[in-house]
């Protein structure tokens, strides 16, 4: 489903039933729109569960709430961020790395912000709140180098907050990746109450604030402000995909 250049659209109570091994089958794409809500839906597909892009103009005031994803490529921003995204909220969502037939996602992501030079632009005031993941490999993915450079517009993920995120039963070698483009385009990332069962993490060119998480980001161009503390307990439940 594509929602493009819309003001005030609501996507509510939908069911997308596509196997995880079927390519290029996004669940819901929101493009160049404002005041959009996607809520109370179950999405199984072989690409992004929900993706926000800016192919035509800026995007703002988008809420994705109580969406359950199965075998997808994640809850995504990008890859097109050219015109900028602002005031985005993902809240109370779940991700399962498998579809109902046991197919594992071909790109098994959880929280995902992606872009690349030529399709890049600012991402500001974006929050993922209360996200539960199971059977996911790429838990937190923030990357400005999703594809080969094709132009001069640079991705700049200025203010991204991940608050209350938990992963359980992550697949082997699960990890996270928090990146900015370069020293002039640092990603600004806040991690609060992030409790992952796989803490492997790579980072570069990022200004990261930590509060109550066991993650320990370090790398080229990375600064960390850690206020300490253990994650607040997060109770996760993963609903079965609804019957037809």
Q: How many helices (H) and strands (E) does the chain have?
A: 0, 19
Contact 174, 167 (CB under 8 A): yes
Please give the Cα distance from 213 to 218 (Å, whole number).
14
- Of 140, 147, 143, 134, nearest to 70 by C-alpha is 134
Please give the Cα distance from 238 to 229 (Å, whole number).
27
Query: Is 73 an annotated catalytic residue?
Result: yes
- Of 118, 125, 7, nearest to 55 by C-alpha is 118
Q: 45, 68, 73, 108: which one is catalytic?
A: 73
Question: End-to-end alpha-carbon separation of the chain, Å?
Answer: 18
Please give the Cα distance from 15 to 34 (Å, whole number).
23
Q: 29, 31, 47, 193: which one is catalytic?
A: 47
CA atoms within 13 A on the CB side of 143: 19
Query: Is 47 an annotated catalytic residue?
Result: yes
Contact 95, 110 (CB under 8 A): yes
Match 């993922």 to its residue by tokens: 128
- Among all residues, which ones are annotated catalytic? 47, 73
């Amino acid at each position: 489903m594509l929602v493009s250049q819309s003001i005030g659209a609501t996507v509510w109570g939908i069911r997308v039933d596509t196997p995880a091994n079927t390519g290029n089958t996004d669940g819901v794409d929101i493009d160049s729109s404002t005041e959009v809500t996607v809520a109370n839906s179950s999405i199984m597909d072989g690409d992004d569960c929900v993706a926000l892009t800016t192919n035509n103009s800026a995007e703002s005031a988008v809420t994705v709430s109580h969406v359950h994803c199965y075998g997808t490529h994640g809850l995504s921003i990008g890859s097109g961020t050219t015109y900028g995204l602002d005031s985005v909220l993902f809240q109370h969502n779940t991700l399962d790395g498998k579809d109902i037939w046991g197919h594992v996602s071909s790109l098994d992501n959880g929280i995902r912000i992606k872009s690349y030079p030529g399709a890049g632009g600012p991402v500001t005031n974006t929050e993922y709140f209360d996200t539960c993941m199971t059977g996911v490999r790429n838990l937190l993915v923030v990357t400005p180098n999703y594809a080969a450079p094709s132009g001069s517009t640079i991705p700049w993920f200025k203010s991204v907050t991940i608050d209350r995120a938990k992963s359980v039963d992550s697949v082997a070698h699960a990890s996270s990746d928090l990146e900015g483009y370069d020293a002039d385009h640092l990603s600004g990332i806040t991690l609060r109450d992030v409790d992952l069962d796989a803490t492997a993490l790579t980072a570069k060119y990022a200004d990261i604030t930590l509060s109550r998480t066991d993650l320990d980001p370090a790398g080229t161009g990375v600064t960390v402000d850690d206020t300490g503390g253990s994650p607040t307990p997060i109770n996760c439940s993963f609903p079965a995909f609804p019957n037809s």
